A and B are shown apart, each in its own frame.
Chain A
Amino acid sequence: MPTLTPTAATGATAKVGPMVYVDPARMQPADAFAELLADTSMNGPFIADLLSSMLSHERAGAHLYRSVQGRTHNPVLERQYEHFGEETREHVGILEGLIAQLGGDAQYVSPAARATEKAGTALVESTFLLGGSLDLVDRELVMVEAVFLAEAKDQANWECLARLAAALPESDARAAFESAAEQVASQEDEHFLWARETRSRLIRAQAQSPLVVDATSPIEEQIALVESLIEQH
């Protein structure tokens, strides 16, 4: 079962930062993961921090899908969010497995992972904190946009991972990178392309729709429009 939120109970560790203190019992030293990819030209500690950050992004993605799946009024989107959410949770597990294979710690939360998590939190908050400013159609678009942004970075992460793998000499490490990237590549491409296309469809559907709804329109009309947007095209 992949970890969606590292905690002390799951064995979370972290590094000390300029304003971050970590209990010595759960602290990763500054030179942690120096042995990662030691036989290569790669910067092991940086790779460890990078993988932690990518993992944080996948975890945030899993939460985002769960959130929007429960709040969308469009059954097509709901099914897609559920499906992609399941795959994203699998990707969390795959990335955790890669980290473990390389000798890293999947429960390690790097400084970069913290920044990634902050961005992810802001992204999901953007889909509900200003819900009072939006009609239901706009909210659906905001949710799709959040997914699009998340998947854009996600796809770029895995593409970057594949390139890093190509820079490694033939080794178990390279094989591990390549295996992980291969397992998710087509799905990540699908997630990103779907999100990009769906955002475009929603925008075009609204732009070309004779119906004008806003936040003051009856809820039933707003929901009906949301349900119809994806079906129309």
Chain B
Amino acid sequence: MTKIDMTQILGDFRNDLPVSQEGLTIVFSPTSVPLKQRWRNNGLSADFMADYFSTFFPGDEEHTPETDTQAQVKNAVSFIANELLENAMKFNDETSPQPISIRLQMHSHRLVFLATNSVNPQDAEKFQAFIQELISSDPSELYLRHLEKDVEDNDEGGSGLGLLTMINDYHAKLGWKFDTVETNPDAVAVTTMVQLTV
């Protein structure tokens, strides 16, 4: 069988980010506790990241909630980190011993999220096709199209809704890196990068 080169960068993925001192990484070993039993951990981890990073932003009781940076950052981090973790857990290749990780780091005027999990090569191809659709479409129109597509069909399919919400409602920039895993040539590691301007 010909080996497909899975190394690919799509969307707005920055390889040249300055080394940041301030950051937080949480790592999950996929084999220690079954996915289903740890679902609640996604929200807990996301809320912890949100709480932790919100202390770097000024809170102001006098501001309305719409202009209170601390409240806005906290809520945005919580939503984005939770979505990234849910996707990583959902699409992770269960046969792979590679850990799932999420990292959040701070740069001037932006927060950068990096979520990594492994996928099997077939799923990686499907995901790449979805990303191509995402980056070549109007995200706002694609959002409505996904919802209207089949109202009776409650399967959310590729669950692109979370990614589209990050783009449309949080004005985040998204990018992906697909990489082969050195220790396991059959696995592909996918890293999703989300850049949020604050």
Are A and B associated in one complex?
Answer: no
Where the two chains meet, the residues of A that have a C-beta atom closer than 8 Å to any C-beta of B are none
Where the two chains meet, the residues of B that have a C-beta atom closer than 8 Å to any C-beta of A are none
